[in-house]
Structure 1
Amino acid sequence: MVSNASVAISSVAHALTRARNEGFDSASAADVEEACFLAELRRCRSTAAQLPHPPGVFHSVDDHVMSLLQTYLAHEAKQAAKGSSLVPANLATAEGYEAKFDNVDPGWIWSLRDWIKKLRKHEFLDAAPGSQEIANNYRLALLGDWGTGLYGAPVCARSIESDKQAIDMVMHLGDIYYAGDTDEVDERFLAHWPRHPGAANRALNGTHEMYTGGNAYFDRILGSADFAQPASYFALHNEHWLLVGLDTAYADHDLYGAQTSWLRALADALPGHGILLFSHHPPFSAFESQGPLLQHKLMPLLSTGRVAAWYWGHEHSCVRYDRHPGWKTHGRCIGHSGFPYFRLAKDGARNEARWVRFDAANALPGGVVLDGPNPYVTENPARYGPNGYVTLDLKGRTVHETYWAPDGDQPFAEFDFEYQAP
């Protein structure tokens, strides 16, 4: 059985169109639930037909049903289901194959329905009170939206794994594609995860992991020997810093359970510490949706000026925001570690990596976005932005950020900031 099979958006549209032509559009719904299911498939067919889907390039969208469709079709193709075939696709990995669907039996629609109906949301795991003590000099490697197993993702992993400097923790900021089921967690995440000698591992929950209920995330990742992570949120501290990883995906773009009061208690217990937050979703964005629920729940803390920096993924880009004028926070988007994303810069013709400035607007800070070609997307490198990862060196009250290319050879940039108590 072939591993890491991909399903292009165009293949989803094709499979749904063939199923429509074979009569699923005229199928009578037995109940309201079934009618809603068919309506969702028709919506996906229309959406997929309008999305850009370059041949041979991995693509996924933040759409629950579309992601489930891709996961299901990939699984069926790997099982050599009737009417499916696998053809090699240039996905920058020997294990990468794109599933093609030519002779579609519309019966797969009802098998998909039965599979979705069996999905259950995993129970939420509460973290213990308090935080784990770490050294004052501490180094982290951050990966975001890395769970493709393709392009720069495995290259980033091998660079982190072979880094000659000590790394105390490797952290993923979430998203394993398409819908974070067991096969995808095994093939696109655990199989490539960087195992740096002596480093602890942490994984934050992501949007795509929760599309299948988060079961593979909670059971196979958190429960693995590599992670042994008790909950989807956690805290660390030393003499100067409180580091907090949040679960913003169990409740989409929100904080589920007792996380808000838990964080408040941690901050109160360490009143002189600067705070570094890590999450999958952004509290704000110059390019995509905002995080009003996160802002609302954390505003009492943000308004104190104690959150020195917030690192997130979700958006497929690398962005360094200027210091927030109200919160005094350095916002960082690190969602560029493995996904082939379209370049954000308007002048996308440059053939080298660079930082492009954007202005403050609508009470949001300005900043810079990483631009340049992606040599790991061999189909059209100039169309896609660079992959990469980030290391944080905590030295006393100073944080040193290094933004690395996947091969770890040259940094895109280095940046220092120091926590100054309000």
Structure 2
Amino acid sequence: MELEQELKAVLDSKLESIRAAAESAEVSFESIWTYFQQSEQLLINLMNSQQSPPTAPGSIEYSWILYWLNNHAPTAWKEILVDLLKMPPSKISPDDWDKWIVILSGPGVLSGDGSLISTAKFAILDIGWVVALFTYYQLELGIIKRHSFNTNPARKVITGQDTLKVAMFGDWGTGNYKDGNLPYSPSQLVMNQIKAMNPDINIHLGDVYYAGTSSEEQTRLLNSWYKAPLANFTMNSNHEMYDGANGLIATALADPIFNEQNQTNYFSIEFGNWLIVGLDSAYYTDSKLFMEGALGQTQVNYLKSLDLQGKKLMILTHHNPIPETGISAEQPVLSLWNEVLDEAGITPDYWYWGHIHNGIVYADIPEMRSVKGRCLGNGAIPQGNASWFEKNPLIDFYCNTPLRNPTPDQKNRVTNGFAMLEFSANGDLSEKWYDQDGTLIWSS
């Protein structure tokens, strides 16, 4: 996991500004380091054949950070991290890492949620994630300022047709690149299928990688987008917040593709008896690395103001409102759920979200309070079969189709995908989920 020269040059160009900010910083990184230590333990357990439970703290996504920063970050960067930001040592030894990397540079291993621990492009150990890390540090140190939040939500009213066809996909912003035997990257395969199905509206549930910077929004979102005829929407996310939502708002939403979104992070689509409401679950969260969603009072008040008389409601967010393995006594609903159902007093008929890199249909259990929960974060990131979801009574379906014609390094992979939703003006809904090859894998 050595830095490429181009990436190293980008980081070095920001070195002095980060050093100066760190020297005068009043912000504490203690909670971030604790989170990274918890995340590292997940990797240690996994590489010792111990699968951590879903309730374990931390995130496998950030499991490599402490080892890499302590052992591979440029010396000048390490001095800032240790001396000024008080970074702790890693518990992973170089000898352990050298043994593990033989596997991780090949097919890799899978965590319980299907995350692919591998050095493959956009897998957990892709060196490019360093961009997200150091962009986030700049945000925390005040070098990057958050873009202002537009409190005038976009409103799209559609009339004159009996049905509305909407393509839904999440965590899709990887752009096109060479991926094993595939003719295109998973994200481009997904978009090619969407284009062939000719939807009226395209909605991306958020995440452009690695950090939602302006250049990434251009190359990995705009350059790969098929413009649907009626409207196009893309949502804020944890990765886009690492750059303070500047790339999202100033680059992506400023493009004519997203004219209907009016450079706002939240919006509504009215069609017949349907109201589809997209909310920004990233901007107002105070969780570490924006990993847990929150709406903030502005959007809670917006929900309260909606006229839902005679309407069916679909809520869209980037973040998940319930644990990825479903609601249980051990894992109750998350605060995002409470903001919508309790604070705003609204019970949506459907709730689609991304963030978790899988496609999951949750069971209709009493704890769901009649909300049909759908996770659709499998638009691009390489994943494997999630053992946590298999034979889980809280989950009716999850995406686990093995990748067709894989290389040896891709043997743990499953296909990515998207949904095509057809709304009827009378309130009916047809849900069809497809994989990246256009194969129908689930329908309601």
TM-score w.r.t. the length of structure 1 is 0.70
Q: Distance in 2 between matches of 1:115 and 1:334?
A: 29
Q: Is the aligned partner of 1:372 residue 2:401?
A: yes
Q: Distance in 2 between matches of 1:338 and 1:43?
A: 30
Q: Is the aligned partner of 1:320 residue 2:351?
A: no
Aligned letter for 1:242? L
Aligned residue for 2:270?
237
Q: Distance in 2 between matches of 1:211 and 1:296?
A: 25
**Residues 5 and 379 of structure 1, relative CA distance in 2, 3 Å threshold:** farther
Q: Distance in 1 between matches of 2:191 and 2:321?
A: 27
1:298 to 302, 321, 340: 340
**Residues 161 and 12 of structure 1, relative CA distance in 2, 3 Å threshold:** farther
CA drift of 1:35 comes to 4.4
Mapped contact 2:433–2:443 kept (Cα < 8 A)? yes
CA drift of 1:283 comes to 1.1
| Gaps in structure 1 of 5+ consecutive residues | 73-111, 347-354, 361-365, 416-422
When you count helix as a share of all residues, which structure comes out higher?
2
Please give the residue correspondences for 1:6-405 in structure 2 after superposition, counting only pairs within 5 Å.
Answer: 17-19=71-73, 22=75, 27=79, 35=83, 37=85, 39=87, 53-60=117-124, 68-69=132-133, 117-128=142-153, 132-134=157-159, 135-150=161-176, 151-163=185-197, 166-196=198-228, 198-228=229-259, 229-230=261-262, 231-252=264-285, 253-266=293-306, 269-287=307-325, 292-300=334-342, 306-326=347-367, 327-345=369-387, 356-360=390-394, 366-375=395-404, 378=407, 380-395=409-424, 396-405=426-435
CA drift of 1:242 comes to 1.0
3-state DSSP class of the match of 1:243?
strand
CA drift of 1:275 comes to 0.5
CA drift of 1:344 comes to 0.3
3-state DSSP class of the match of 2:224?
coil
Show CA shifts across 1:293-324 (max 9, x none). Answer: 212221248876x5111000000111011224
Q: Distance in 2 between matches of 1:124 and 1:44?
A: 40
Q: Distance in 1 between matches of 2:120 and 2:433?
A: 28
Q: Distance in 2 between matches of 1:377 and 1:199?
A: 37
Aligned letter for 2:163? N
Q: Distance in 1 between matches of 2:213 and 2:90?
A: 23
Mapped contact 1:375–1:381 kept (Cα < 8 A)? no
When you count strand as a share of all residues, which structure comes out higher?
1
Q: Distance in 2 between matches of 1:343 and 1:405?
A: 14
CA drift of 1:256 comes to 2.7
Aligned letter for 1:210? M
Show CA shifts across 1:156-190 (max 9, x none). Answer: 11111222xx4111000011111111121112111
**Residues 259 and 343 of structure 1, relative CA distance in 2, 3 Å threshold:** same
User: Percent of pairs identical after alignment?
Assistant: 24
Show CA shifts across 1:377-415 (max 9, x none). Answer: 64533312320110100122211011111132x211221
TM-score w.r.t. the length of structure 2 is 0.67
| Gaps in structure 2 of 5+ consecutive residues | 12-60, 105-116, 177-184, 286-292
3-state DSSP class of the match of 1:263?
helix
Could you say what the CA RMSD is over the residues aligned between the two structures, in angstroms? 3.9
Q: Distance in 2 between matches of 1:187 and 1:130?
A: 27
Q: Distance in 2 between matches of 1:114 and 1:124?
A: 16
CA drift of 1:376 comes to 8.1
CA drift of 1:18 comes to 4.0
